[in-house]
C-alpha cells in the first residue's frame, strides 16, 4: 500500500492526467474551428481551368498573399485564448494541489507549507514561459499555412488539394473529410482517445483511417505540437514548482513515483522497480530507494532510452509524455526497510 508521500505524488499525477484530458478535448474544438474558418476563407479564392488536367487550379499569387492576414486573424482569434486558459486556470489549480500536498504531509516547516511570495513569482514566470511556447506554435503554423498556400498557387494546385494540405497541417490525421466514413472514425477517435478502456478500439480506428481510407498521420501538425506541449508543460510546471518548494523546505533527496503500464519507458520502469538502486552510494538509502539529486542525474546521464528529453532529469523525468513525478523526501522519515515513519 502506498505511503503518504507516494499518495500525494499520485494525487498530483491524477489531476494532471485529468487536466490534460480536459484540455485535449478543448484543443480538438479549437483546431476544428480554426480548420473550418481557414477552409471557408481559402474556398473563396478564384481558380482557372487548367487546359491539360481540365481541373480548376489556383492561379493568382496576389490573392494568396492577401489571405495571410486573414489566416493569421483566424488563428489569433482562437489559439492564444485557449493557451491562456491552460496556463491561468490549469496551472493555478495544480499549484494549489502542490500546496495541499505540502500542508497535509505536515513534515516540513510550517513556513513552507503554503505558497510563498517566492512561489507566486515562480508560478508567474512558469506560466509566462509556457504561454510563450504556445505562442511559438501559433507563429510557426501561421507561417507554415501561409507558405503552403503560396506554394500551392505557384505550382497551380487545385483548390481542393491546397485545402487538404492546410487541413492536414492543422489537424494531422484528425482532419475532416468529405467522406462520411472518415468523419465517423475521426469523431470516434476524438471522443475516446483518452479512455483507457477504449484504447484497442481507438488503435483499430486509427489503423483503418490510414489503411482503408488512406488518411495521413503527418508529424508536422499543429495538433501534434499542441498535444505534446500540453503534456510536457503541465508536468514540467508541477516538477519545477514542487522542486523549488522542496528545496526551500530543505528536502534534498528524491523518490520516483508513478505506475507501470505497457507503454512505460525503460528508464521509468527500472526506476520504479528499484533497478537503479546500485547508483545510491549509501547502503541505508539504497534499501529505502532514496536518491540524492546527483545520483539521479548520474543515472540519467549514463543511460539511454527511447523518448529521452534533453534537460535536467528532475524536470524532464523519463522524457516526452512521461507520467511519473519525483517526490522530495528526508531519509529520516523512513526506517531501514524504507517504511515511512511520519
Q: pLDDT tens digits, residue range 190-206?
A: 777 667 677 778 777 76
The H or E element that residue 256 is part of is strand 253-257
pLDDT at 176: 57
Q: What is the pLDDT of residue 1?
A: 45
Which tens digits make up the pLDDT trace of 113-172? 999 999 999 999 999 999 999 999 999 999 999 999 999 999 999 999 999 899 989 987
Over residues 105-114, the mean pLDDT reads 90
pLDDT tens figures, 22-46: 999 899 899 999 999 999 999 999 9
Domain co-membership, 81 together with 159: yes
Q: Is 286 part of any domain? A: yes
Looking at residues 100-109, what average pLDDT do you find?
90
Range of the domain at 307: 252-333
Number of domains in the chain: 2
Is the same domain home to 220 and 269?
Answer: no
265 in the same domain as 221: no
Q: Are residues 219 and 290 in the same domain?
A: no
Residues 221, 270, single domain; the answer is no
220 lies in the same domain as 295:
no
Place of cell 504556445: 134
Residues 134, 28 share a domain: yes
> Is position 246 within any domain?
no
For residue 303, is it within any domain?
A: yes
**298 within some domain:** yes
Give 329's strand partners.
253
- pTM for the model stands at 0.84
User: Could you tell me if residue 56 is inside a domain?
Assistant: yes
Residues 13 and 162 in one domain: yes
300 and 219: one domain? no
Identify the residue whose cell numbers are 549514463. 302
The answer to the question of residue 104 being in a domain is yes
- Residue 293 has a CB neighbour count (10 Å cut-off) of 17
Q: Are residues 161 and 280 in the same domain?
A: no
CB atoms within 10 A of CB 91: 22
Backbone angles phi, psi at 257, to 5 degrees: -130, 140
CA distance 30 to 227: 12
- 190 located within any domain: no
Question: Which helix (H) or strand (E) is 288 found in, with range?
Answer: helix 283-288
266 and 168 assigned to the same domain: no
In a domain? residue 261: yes
Please identify which residue in the block is written with the cell numbers 483566424: 74
Residues 220 and 317 in one domain: no
Answer whether residue 223 shows pLDDT above 60: yes
Amino acid at each position: 500500500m502506498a505511503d503518504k508521500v507516494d499518495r500525494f505524488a499520485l494525487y498530483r499525477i491524477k489531476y494532471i492526467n485529468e487536466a490534460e484530458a480536459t484540455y485535449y478535448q478543448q484543443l480538438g474544438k479549437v483546431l476544428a474551428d480554426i480548420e473550418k474558418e481557414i477552409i471557408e476563407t481559402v474556398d473563396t479564392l478564384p481558380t482557372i481551368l487548367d487546359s491539360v488536367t481540365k481541373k480548376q487550379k489556383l492561379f493568382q499569387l496576389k490573392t494568396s498573399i492577401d489571405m495571410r492576414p486573414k489566416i493569421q486573424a483566424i488563428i489569433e482569434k482562437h489559439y492564444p485564448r485557449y493557451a491562456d486558459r491552460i496556463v491561468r486556470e490549469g496551472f493555478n489549480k495544480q499549484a494549489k494541489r502542490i500546496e495541499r500536498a505540502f500542508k497535509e504531509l505536515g513534515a516540513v516547516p510550517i513556513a513552507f507549507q503554503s505558497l510563498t511570495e517566492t512561489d507566486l513569482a515562480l508560478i508567474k514566470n512558469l506560466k509566462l514561459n509556457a504561454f510563450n511556447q504556445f505562442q511559438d506554435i501559433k507563429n510557426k503554423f501561421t507561417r507554415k499555412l501561409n507558405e503552403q498556400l503560396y506554394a500551392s498557387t505557384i505550382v497551380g494546385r487545385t483548390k481542393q488539394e491546397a485545402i487538404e494540405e492546410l487541413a492536414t497541417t492543422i489537424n494531422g490525421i484528425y482532419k475532416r473529410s468529405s467522406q462520411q466514413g472518415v468523419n465517423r472514425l475521426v469523431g470516434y477517435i476524438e471522443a475516446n482517445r483518452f479512455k483507457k478502456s477504449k484504447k484497442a478500439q481507438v488503435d483499430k480506428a486509427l489503423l483503418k483511417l490510414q489503411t482503408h481510407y488512406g488518411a495521413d498521420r503527418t508529424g508536422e501538425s499543429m495538433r501534434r505540437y499542441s498535444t505534446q506541449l500540453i503534456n510536457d508543460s503541465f508536468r514540467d510546471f508541477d516538477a519545477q514548482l514542487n522542486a523549488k518548494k522542496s528545496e526551500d523546505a530543505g528536502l534534498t533527496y528524491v523518490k520516483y513515483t508513478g505506475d507501470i503500464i505497457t507503454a512505460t519507458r525503460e528508464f521509468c520502469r527500472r526506476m520504479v522497480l528499484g533497478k537503479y538502486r546500485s547508483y545510491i552510494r549509501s547502503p541505508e538509502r539504497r534499501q529505502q530507494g532514496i536518491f540524492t539529486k546527483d545520483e539521479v542525474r548520474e543515472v540519467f546521464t549514463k543511460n539511454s532510452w527511447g523518448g529521452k528529453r534533453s534537460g535536467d532529469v528532475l524536470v524532464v523525468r523519463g522524457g516526452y509524455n512521461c507520467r511519473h513525478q519525483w517526490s522530495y523526501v528526508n531519509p529520516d522519515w523512513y526506517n531501514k526497510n524504507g517504511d515511512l515513519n511520519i
